[in-house]
């Protein structure tokens, strides 16, 4: 199983951020919990500048004695990303967000591996050993994943309503037909939002399959229809967007292709890409894959 902690390809947004018992922490918009740099430093019992220098110079530090020990702890957690934190934005200000693997590795190092073990790190590490990192932060910040699940259903139903009214009679749209994917994804805990838009991935793959196999000659020509996103999607600024609708005569072929080709072959890669962008986390990706009984993701 390849590491699925997101790589730094974009600035992530912080949904909630608080200080709890003197420790800054929060949750990203995709539901991923984190500690800020100052929060993690406080838990580790070190000055924030120490942690900042370590993280800022990680490409050099990881080859030094301290860095090599931390790398071993990160490896045990299947974390092999080039940076220790994600660059995020909260209320217009930058935030260095340390996700679970980096936090646990650094806490363990400062609790047990350093020549000068820190009692703060031992206390924090043992506290997290009695619960989970996610549960600890969710409870502290008052984050409710149940509400995010309800939001996912809203995103899904609103898009279904818009698409159903726009696709011409005698044709089908891709988004309508991938409910067999999206419903299990939501039930598995994937937060479907404006950043997780699986129909784009499916639509491109199906369009390529359609063209390469000359399916217009078999089922008739596809057509364009004005596709729109709900008003609360950033993509709605460019509404309407021309998208392909396919003849109903090809619906059976699409469903067969979706199950036999996309879900079994392309879907794991899609989840890997979403995880690396930070739209979902590794555990959620595993749950989504298990919902479809498809192989685990590998690079």
pLDDT single digits (tens) 179-206: 777 777 777 777 666 666 677 888 899 9
Indicate whether 29 pLDDT > 70. yes
19-33, 87-101, 193-207: segment of lowest average pLDDT: 193-207
Report pLDDT for 249.
Answer: 95
Sign of torsion over alpha carbons 244, 245, 249, 254: positive
Residue 200, Ramachandran bin (φ over 0: left; ψ between -120 and 50: alpha; else beta) = alpha
Report pLDDT for 208.
Answer: 93
Closest to 257 measured CA to CA, from 222, 294, 205:
205
Closest to 25 measured CA to CA, from 130, 122, 124, 111:
124
Report pLDDT for 1.
Answer: 34
C-alpha–C-alpha distance, residues 226 and 239, integer Å: 8
C-alpha–C-alpha distance, residues 162 and 69, integer Å: 53
Confidence grade of residue 3 (pLDDT, cut at 50, 70, 90): very low
- Where helices occur in 213-266 by DSSP H, the ranges are 216-219, 251-257
C-alpha–C-alpha distance, residues 18 and 21, integer Å: 10
Report pLDDT for 120.
Answer: 92
Q: Strand, helix or coil at 181?
A: helix
Rounded to 5 degrees, φ, ψ at 78 are 60, 35
Report pLDDT for 125.
Answer: 86
CA dihedral 106, 107, 111, 115 (to 10 degrees): 20
Indicate whether 145 pLDDT > 80. no
Confidence grade of residue 4 (pLDDT, cut at 50, 70, 90): very low
C-alpha–C-alpha distance, residues 51 and 85, integer Å: 11
Sign of torsion over alpha carbons 183, 188, 189, 193: negative
pLDDT single digits (tens) 257-281: 988 888 877 777 777 776 666 666 6
Say which residue, 38 or 179, is predicted with more confidence: 38
Indicate whether 63 pLDDT > 90. yes
Report pLDDT for 176.
Answer: 81
Confidence grade of residue 216 (pLDDT, cut at 50, 70, 90): very high
Report pLDDT for 5.
Answer: 43
Say which residue, 92 or 253, is predicted with more confidence: 253
Confidence grade of residue 71 (pLDDT, cut at 50, 70, 90): very high
Give the mean model confidence (pLDDT) for residues 208-236.
Answer: 90
Give the mean model confidence (pLDDT) for residues 117-144.
Answer: 81
C-alpha–C-alpha distance, residues 260 and 134, integer Å: 35
68-72, 155-159, 292-296: segment of lowest average pLDDT: 292-296
Q: What's the number of CA atoms in the CB half-sphere (13 Å) around residue 3? A: 16
In which order are the strands placed within the sheet that holds 171-173? Answer: 171-173, 241-247, 223-227
Closest to 29 measured CA to CA, from 82, 95, 101:
95
Confidence grade of residue 7 (pLDDT, cut at 50, 70, 90): very low
Confidence grade of residue 97 (pLDDT, cut at 50, 70, 90): very high
């Amino acid at each position: 199983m390849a590491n699925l902690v997101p790589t730094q390809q974009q600035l992530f947004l912080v949904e909630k951020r608080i200080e709890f018992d003197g420790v800054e922490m929060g949750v990203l918009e995709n539901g991923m919990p984190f500690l800020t740099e100052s929060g993690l430093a406080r838990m580790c019992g070190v000055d924030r500048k120490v942690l900042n220098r370590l993280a800022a110079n990680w490409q050099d530090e990881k080859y030094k004695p301290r860095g090599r020990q931390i790398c071993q702890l990160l490896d045990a957690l299947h974390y092999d990303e080039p940076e220790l934190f994600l660059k995020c934005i909260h209320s217009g200000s930058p935030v260095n967000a340390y996700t679970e693997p980096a936090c646990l590795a650094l806490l363990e190092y400062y609790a047990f591996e350093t020549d000068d073990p820190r009692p703060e790190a031992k206390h924090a590490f043992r506290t997290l050993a009695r619960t989970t990192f996610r549960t600890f932060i969710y409870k502290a910040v008052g984050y409710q994943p149940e509400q995010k699940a309800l939001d996912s259903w809203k995103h899904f139903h609103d898009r279904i309503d818009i698409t159903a009214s726009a696709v011409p009679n005698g044709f089908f749209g891709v988004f309508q037909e991938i409910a067999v994917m999206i419903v299990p994804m939501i039930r598995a805990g994937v937060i479907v939002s404006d950043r997780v838009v699986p129909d784009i991935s499916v639509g491109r793959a199906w369009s390529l399959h359609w063209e390469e196999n000359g399916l217009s000659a078999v089922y008739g020509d596809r057509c364009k229809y004005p596709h729109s996103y709900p008003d609360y999607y950033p993509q709605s600024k460019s509404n309407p967007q021309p998208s392909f609708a396919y003849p109903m005569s090809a619906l059976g072929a699409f469903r067969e292709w979706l199950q036999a080709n996309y879900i079994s072959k392309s879907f794991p890669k899609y989840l890997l890409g979403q995880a690396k962008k930070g739209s979902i986390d590794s555990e959620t990706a595993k749950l989504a894959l298990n919902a479809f009984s498809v192989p685990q993701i590998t690079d």
